[in-house]
Amino acid sequence: MQPLPTGGVHVVLHGGTHAPFSLDEIDSGRAGAPVVYRAAAGEQPVVSAGFLVPASAVHSVPHPKRPGETVQHVALAGLGFTPEHYGSLSGDTDSGPDTNPATPGVNGCANQKMEAHLDGVPLQLARYPNPFPNGTWRWMYVDSPAGWNQGCANHSRFAPPCGASHQDFIWASKDTRKIEGWAGEADPWLHGYFQQDWADTIARIESMHSENRTINIDPATPTYGAKPIQKGARWLGLNLLSELDSPSEYWLDRKQGDLYFIAPGVPSKERALVVSVNKTAIVSNASNVQFLGVQVKHSQGNGMVLRGDNVSVINCSSSN
């Protein structure tokens, strides 16, 4: 192995998309002589952990749940994807990997889920209610949590001894939405703030009963520990194929690998559809290294994991 020259070395990354990479201790620089990974002058290199879907794999098909409408479809299984690539929607999204023992995180991220991006813009999972035109989220509301009484109105981190359920609730009677169609969904979820407005959770719907407007949450994906659901808590339905009705929405069957989406504007074979896979763009165990002017994109979880000593990240960006 040749010693590093005085002042270290520079690895120049040119514009375009580069594959994910890892550095080991053998790739380390030394004090005063770092190894620098930098963008070429005037260029914007991208290290992407995503998968660029071939244009030939994207097809216009009839909407499976909405007669008369058309959506775009990709058979991810035919491209070599397996369920382990799709990740999970479950997990407490605010507090890291230890909050929900049913879904331990990886590299400190509780939610390891595949996502989709079109022309560099993230698509949203199909949901109800849809956001307002300005992008602000719209919500449904809890009317009566099962067994709730005033003694349950305790917003501490621990469940009060009030007997209220953290798995069942009735949605607000003032909401006239008919959601009986959700009963036939393959993998319906809720995203909500069931206890505190700083603790959002994604939980799977186990069953729904339209006659009394009751939703039951799968106990394997609890809301927030064993705390009871609160009256007036806000939530929305998530990953609902029947609600795939707006541009920039997508839906993924995490068992079969079918991806459906609605492209904003006119669908075109030239548009770049990228799905994030179970990878981190840059993983480094090296010390005395620098990253200058590099863009990191399309990771599932963390964009960069840097474990060495004396590591600098300068004028870089991490997105999508």
> Contact, 291 vs 318, CB < 8 A?
no
Alpha-carbon distance of 58 to 52, in angstroms, equals: 11
Predicted pLDDT at 157: 59
pLDDT band at 226 (very low <50, low <70, confident <90, very high): low
Predicted pLDDT at 225: 61
Distance (Å) of CA 258 to CA 90, 108, 152: 19, 28, 42
Alpha-carbon distance of 192 to 95, in angstroms, equals: 15
pLDDT, tens only, 39-82: 999 999 999 999 999 999 999 999 999 999 999 999 999 999 98
Average pLDDT across the chain, whole number: 84
pLDDT of residue 209 exceeding 90, the answer is: no
Which of 62, 18, 66, 63 minimizes the C-alpha distance to 38?
18
Best-predicted range by mean pLDDT among 19-33, 162-176, 203-217? Answer: 19-33
Cβ burial, residue 61 (10 Å; 0-12/13-18/19+): exposed
pLDDT of residue 243 exceeding 50, the answer is: yes
Averaged over 204-230, what is the pLDDT? 79
pLDDT of residue 4 exceeding 60, the answer is: yes
**pTM, 2 dp:** 0.83
Alpha-carbon distance of 320 to 305, in angstroms, equals: 16
